[in-house]
Amino acid sequence: MFAEPSISFEMGAAQIEQMARTGRPEVHFGLTQVETHMEPRVSFATLSSSGGQRLCARPHIEVMLALDRARVNVARELVGNECAVSVVWHHELRHFAIVQESLATTASELERIMRAYYDGAVFVGSEAEAQEQIEREFRGRWTLEFETLQARGNLAHEALDTQDAQAESTLCDGALARLAARLSRQTKP
């Protein structure tokens, strides 16, 4: 499930750079922020004891990865320059596409790993105990696995930024490059 990106001009380039935390000296005019979450759905195939107090449960787990919110921040310094706004907006939409692709790849990989992990697993105890164990595993193991898999998309984001930075001086008749130079001079001590 994917949210559509919205655009915001609330932040300036300095705020965007602070949030991006790239550590590189160039000025950033855009930043795509997304919120994702994992939603597990657990059901059990069970065999209960005659008293119904204990059960032997085989879990069936489905996980939905959702992109809840997508926001493209374009530096407010670009307002009024339609060409510059368009260039940054389209660059950030390509970042959004990377996020979508990464999320889809992560979902497939996470499903494969989880199926292998839970294949043949049997929980003994009450249904509440089995449910709690699986929830603990989601909060710990599977959330960490999700974050690790998602981090692989960072390389694609860096490659896109590097590629587009090389063309920045010619875009919009050099307007982005001139503004970046001016902003860099303003932030130097």
Region 21-41: what's the mean pLDDT?
A: 79
> Is it the case that residue 160 has pLDDT exceeding 80?
yes
pLDDT confidence bin for 155, thresholds 50/70/90: confident
Return the SS3 of 34: strand
Q: Would you say 149 and 106 are in contact if contact means Cβ atoms under 8 Å apart? A: yes
Average pLDDT of the residues of the chain = 83
Half-sphere exposure of 72 (CA within 13 A, CB side): 22
pTM (2 decimals)? 0.78
pLDDT in tens, 34-43: 988 877 777 7
**What is the rounded end-to-end Cα distance, in angstroms, of the chain?**
46
Query: What per-residue confidence (pLDDT) applies to 142?
Result: 87
pLDDT in tens, 72-127: 999 999 999 999 999 999 999 999 999 989 888 888 888 888 888 888 887 777 77
Residue whose token pair is 């960490």: 144
More confident of the two residues 177 and 187: 177
Query: What per-residue confidence (pLDDT) applies to 72?
Result: 93
- Kindly write down the DSSP assignment for every residue of 110-158, as one continuous string: HHHHHHHHHTT--EEE-HHHHHHHHHHHIIIIIHHHHHHHHHTHHHHHH
